[in-house]
Structure 1
Amino acid sequence: MAGYKNIVLVGASGAIGKIIIDCLIASSSFNITVLSRKESKASFPAGITVHKSDFSDADLEAVFKGQDAVISAVGATAFGEQKKVVDAAIRSGVQRFIPSEFSSNSQNEAVLKLAPFFGQKKELIEYLKTKQSDGLSWTAVATSGLLDWGLENGFLEFDVANHTATIWDGGNQSFTLTNEKQLGQAVVSVLQHPQETSNKYLYIASVETTQNEILAALEEATGAKWSVKATTTEDQVDEGFKKLGAGDFSGAFQLVRATCYGNTPGLQANYAKDVTLANDVLGLKLESVRDTVKRVVA
């Protein structure tokens, strides 16, 4: 089965959307349309068709007509709106939908207890399964956290500028992370291999590591001894839920980190050991933590 050619990306202006669009462009394999809200001020690279939409059913159907695949990279506030996009894609004859997964494993109950806001992701996968008979196939890609992205902006709690780190539960819990480019390459590969990836929940990874390994690589790359703050899963989760309950969304970030760093039983955060990686199917290779850190620090 030939790969898909005509692609619509929803949520292209966000962090994940930008990663995906860069890799779609670099592949030179697709006709790319970006679906953007009418009020959005975002700009996109030359050669991209940009459609400003009110996200009405009629408008979505008009944009999706003649398209092969729709990719959703929407943020947390729009997870629940994806069903509407799926329904419009079906009515328009779209063949493949890639939901906004690209993070922790939303199919894992231990993950959902820590990050209940990912429940809408799980619901969408269940919804997509019910729509397979309507002619729409789907592929979800779980990446866990993003290593290079999370080092650059501090999300992973390694502060490169100030040489400080927050280490959970001693720092020896193993997990996998994915680099930005590999996330984008995974999406490209899904589109180029529709039969092999049809109706599947795929796990990918760039590195299998621990917090202490990342810290050691950072100390080596920066030539400095870092200051470490020790914390525990219990403290982080308690604080995260308290913040979230008070309307502070930074608490959600703590809970997402807990799905990776945490010692909660059943998290299966090491995709290389706990589940089956789809790296081989997608043509992706495991990478070096040291090489990634050197690239970020340089």
Structure 2
Amino acid sequence: MPAYKKVTIAGASGSIGSIILRGLLATGDFSITVLSRKDSAASFPDGVAVRKTDFSESELETIFKGQEVVISALGATGFGEQKKLIDAALRSGVHRFIPSEFSASSQNEAIVQLLPLFGAKKEVIEYLKASESAGLTWTGIATGLLFDWGLLNGFLGFDIPNRSATVWDAGEESFTLTNESQLANAVIAVLRHPDGTRNKFLHVASVRATQSQILAALEAQTGEKWTVHKTTTEQELSESRKKLTVGDFSGALGLVRATSFGKIPGLHADYVKSGLIANDLLGLKQESVEGTVSRLLTEQETLK
């Protein structure tokens, strides 16, 4: 089957969606449509067809007509809404659906137990499997946490401006993380190789690391000794769950960090160690922790 060219993205203004959109646009190979809610003030780059919609099934079907692929980058509040997108894609003759994974794997039971919110993602994959016989194919892409994105904004617990880090347990648990460009490249590879990625759940990564290795790379690049705050998986899980019980959604973010940093049986956060990684299938190269850290800090200096 030839590469897919006509692509619609739902959630293109979000953190993940904007990464995918930029990557697709940079190739110049795709005809891109984005879905935008009728009350949204989001703006998009030139060269993108913007379709305002109320996300009704009839409107979605009309928009999806003639499209080959629908990519969902909807956030947590939209995970369940993906079934509506799938139904409309199926009725409109769309060939491939890429659901909103792009994080820890919803196919790992330890992840779903840790983050029940990901149960909705798991249900979407099961829904897609049930749609295979009707002609709709799918590809899931698990990336783990985003490395360069999470370093720059402090999400991963490394505070670059203040030269401080929060390290879980001994900091020696290994995990894999994905850089923004690699996430986009994974999507592009799926679009360019539809046969080899048909009805598969794929795990990709940019780097394999431990928190201690990331800290060492940051200290080497900055030439400074960082302040380290020690914590434990047990402490982080307890605090995150307490926040959630009182409606503080930041608790969910703590649980998301635990999908990489947590010392939890069955987590399989290291896709290389667990043998899950599909980089070779997609033609994706692994990068080094040191290389990513050097690139980010150099870019920061350039912007000053």
Shift of 1:35: 0.5
Equivalent residues in 2 for 1:105-254, closer than 5 Å: 105-254=105-254
- Alignment-derived partner of residue 13 in structure 2: 13
Is 1:288 aligned to residue 296 of structure 2? no
Distance 1:254 1:271 in 2: 21
Shift of 1:166: 0.4
Distance 2:245 2:85 in 1: 29
Question: Structure 2 counterpart of 1:125, which letter?
Answer: I
User: What SS does the corresponding residue of 1:195 show, helix, strand or coil?
Assistant: coil
Distance 1:118 1:244 in 2: 15
Consecutive unaligned residues of structure 2, counting only runs of 5 or more, are 299-304
RMSD: 0.6
User: What SS does the corresponding residue of 1:165 show, helix, strand or coil?
Assistant: strand
- Cα deviation 1:144-191 (Å, max 9, x = unaligned): 001000001111000001011000011000000000000000001100
Distance 1:270 1:100 in 2: 21
- Alignment-derived partner of residue 57 in structure 2: 57
Shift of 1:129: 0.3
Question: Structure 2 counterpart of 1:163, which letter?
Answer: R
Asked if the contact 1:166/1:230 (under 8 Å) is kept, the reply is yes
Distance 1:240 1:113 in 2: 14
- Alignment-derived partner of residue 27 in structure 1: 27
Distance 1:157 1:107 in 2: 26
Question: Structure 2 counterpart of 1:186, which letter?
Answer: A
User: What SS does the corresponding residue of 2:239 show, helix, strand or coil?
Assistant: helix
- Alignment-derived partner of residue 266 in structure 2: 266
Distance 2:161 2:200 in 1: 40
User: What SS does the corresponding residue of 2:272 show, helix, strand or coil?
Assistant: helix
Distance 1:107 1:186 in 2: 18
Shift of 1:26: 1.0
Asked if the contact 1:99/1:139 (under 8 Å) is kept, the reply is yes
Shift of 1:245: 1.4
Shift of 1:221: 1.0
Runs of 4+ in 1 over 4 A off after TM superposition: none
Distance 1:297 1:74 in 2: 30
User: What SS does the corresponding residue of 1:33 show, helix, strand or coil?
Assistant: strand
Q: Percent identity?
A: 61
- Alignment-derived partner of residue 93 in structure 1: 93
Shift of 1:105: 1.0
Asked if the contact 1:146/1:178 (under 8 Å) is kept, the reply is yes
Shift of 1:276: 2.2
Asked if the contact 1:129/1:199 (under 8 Å) is kept, the reply is yes
User: What SS does the corresponding residue of 1:7 show, helix, strand or coil?
Assistant: strand
User: What SS does the corresponding residue of 1:49 show, helix, strand or coil?
Assistant: strand
Asked if the contact 1:268/1:275 (under 8 Å) is kept, the reply is no
Shift of 1:28: 1.2
Shift of 1:295: 1.3
Question: Structure 2 counterpart of 1:7, which letter?
Answer: V
Shift of 1:21: 0.4
Distance 1:190 1:107 in 2: 19
Consecutive unaligned residues of structure 1, counting only runs of 5 or more, are none
